[in-house]
Structure 1
């Protein structure tokens, strides 16, 4: 099969900016030095560009995980141009195709099944999309968004204005234009792009799959440190409309924290959050399938499979009872008419069901661990 033609503009751009970043930036640093203030400006601009992609392009526009005030949309649109990863409309269109056709070597724009290089950057170096490039039929909702379409129409102007204007302005303020052009202009651009690209590549290769094994997406807490919380990719691929990627309080997800902060001050609303019942069911089903697959290869495994199924059914039953009561508790908290004694009785029942479910979950996890260990011995 003949390969599509090379897009030389992209090849030269990615090659030259990378080479310049690994040569000119350290050379200038050794020759003239960078101040701590310049490094603070660099980190601030990294976060601005990165969060504009994760909170704006990704969770707001591609997945509609929440709504936001138009002023914040403009800030994201400018930051997206600063990140130089195509317009929000084009980026979102590609990303929606990726989720709909994930891992398909032909239809997924950056399919991980085509290898690390392809999913990281190779997909942008040849004209793989062909006539499909510029087909935004899957983004009719975004074509009605004034900010998205304004950015799309003026994208290249905004790219030039932000990628030269912001470093120049900071350089004039700090008295070192060349230093800021190299740090905030060049190094920030290269790093912010490749950090995003790691989600398409590494996050589909390296990590765990606790929520689904139906695609290559992985959860990787280490990658989350460099991608503003996007490293919890296995969760994201099954619950894409959730405004969170890291769902635990200790998961590093500054994108989630920023969205939540915007909501707290009235600049964001309608934050979509996956019910705990769906999340726990997905985890239980994934582990169940994994353990069943291992046990099925062993002789005389029927008794173990029967026990596994019994514990699995009991887990789901207790989870269902707990979540049903949890919904009722939330409704009652909104209804202040219930008597205090009735509330106390209900909360006692709630905590009992929660404990029963947690105990069953621990028993379920222990059983799986024991059976999986036995399958290897």
Structure 2
């Protein structure tokens, strides 16, 4: 017996198809016959960045995951920018995203499961009404329903979407003196870029890249995608440490969303920034290396001695990580309370330095072992 296909959402099909067609056909024709100047290109870049950061810093890290808190003016700015990005309301977007994290890769429950293929996870899931309850059940976002900014944007999303996506490019065109060029570049091209770079996180970031922290789901870390998506490409890290306001945790990783959130905290616009404890991150990376080397060594002849050494070095590393970070945490807590006497402070610092030295030596031994079997 054939099952009936879910209803096609014709509005979404029309928006995605028409904007893409106009962008790839209309833009080169307009550029050839009329041309764009640097002001229009700059307008495109600024509009694209505003949309992208409103989704990544606002919809994603602020509202979906509550990784930090933001002042009301900043929340309003993200709400308007997210509407301009035309990716549904904060409430609906966050509800979908929370379901995705709770049921990642579950073909029946994950709204954009990567295991259903690239097209489905990239855009196909929005072209049919696969899960009707998604459009009326927001019980997983009761906290967001209490936010007046979220409630207002959800209530007036359609008129706001029309005003921003038509009004902003039109106003830019009137000021600049080229209405059609602005509607094309700042309106349509910006929208297509905003859509598909964001959609890459649901599709490519679950198919292409490395898994340094976990292989329990399909999420990957990918530096190129991070560049295209304002830092969201470090997706393997995000799926195991979703409550961290950072995706790229190292200084050299491209994560402008993290930089925006952090810099806003210096002037009080963001606060209560949440990060994952360093020991959990280091342990997760070590566990993945250990797991992969176990599989590799098990397939080699006379592997018992190598496996035993691997396990011993791994257990020593985990123990020293725990000792070091425990000593560091205790020292910081007592310093913060200002209850340390000079002699006690000296003793604790010595213990901390000793733990740090032992961990550094164990890290070096672990790296040598990894290099040997890599």
Which TM-score applies when normalising by structure 2?
Answer: 0.95
Report the secondary structure of 1:140's partner residue.
helix
Residues 96 and 134 in structure 2, CA contact (< 8 A), matched pair in contact too: no
Tell me whether 1:84 sits opposite 2:86 in the alignment.
Answer: yes
Count, aligned residues:
372
Identify unmatched segments of 5+ residues in structure 2.
none
* CA distance in structure 2 between the partners assigned to 1:7 and 1:359 by the alignment: 59
Q: After superposition, where does 1:321-336 map in structure 2 within 5 Å?
A: 321-336=323-338
- After superposition, the C-alpha distances for 1:231-260 in whole angstroms (9 at most, x for unaligned) are 000000000010000000111101001111
Give the corresponding residue for 2:366. Answer: 364
* CA distance in structure 2 between the partners assigned to 1:137 and 1:361 by the alignment: 45
* CA distance in structure 1 between the partners assigned to 2:362 and 2:348 by the alignment: 21
Of 31-40 and 309-318, more deviation after overlay is shown by 31-40
Name which of 236, 239, 242 aligns with 1:240. 242
Q: CA deviation at 1:337?
A: 5.7
Q: After superposition, where does 1:121-200 map in structure 2 within 5 Å?
A: 121-200=123-202
Of 166-175 and 189-198, more deviation after overlay is shown by 166-175
* CA distance in structure 2 between the partners assigned to 1:74 and 1:203 by the alignment: 29
Give the corresponding residue for 1:304. Answer: 306
Name which of 258, 263, 266 aligns with 2:265. 263
Q: After superposition, where does 1:333-352 map in structure 2 within 5 Å?
A: 333-336=335-338, 338=340, 343=345, 346-352=348-354
Q: After superposition, where does 1:66-105 map in structure 2 within 5 Å?
A: 66-105=68-107
* CA distance in structure 1 between the partners assigned to 2:353 and 2:248 by the alignment: 25
Q: After superposition, where does 1:5-84 map in structure 2 within 5 Å?
A: 5-84=7-86
- After superposition, the C-alpha distances for 1:317-338 in whole angstroms (9 at most, x for unaligned) are 1111110121123224424564
* CA distance in structure 2 between the partners assigned to 1:366 and 1:168 by the alignment: 61
- After superposition, the C-alpha distances for 1:128-158 in whole angstroms (9 at most, x for unaligned) are 1124432111111111111001000000111
Q: CA deviation at 1:299?
A: 3.8
* CA distance in structure 2 between the partners assigned to 1:2 and 1:301 by the alignment: 54
* CA distance in structure 2 between the partners assigned to 1:347 and 1:169 by the alignment: 61
Give the corresponding residue for 1:202. Answer: 204
Residues 99 and 109 in structure 2, CA contact (< 8 A), matched pair in contact too: yes
Name which of 320, 323, 327 aligns with 1:318. 320
* CA distance in structure 2 between the partners assigned to 1:42 and 1:132 by the alignment: 32
* CA distance in structure 1 between the partners assigned to 2:121 and 2:312 by the alignment: 41
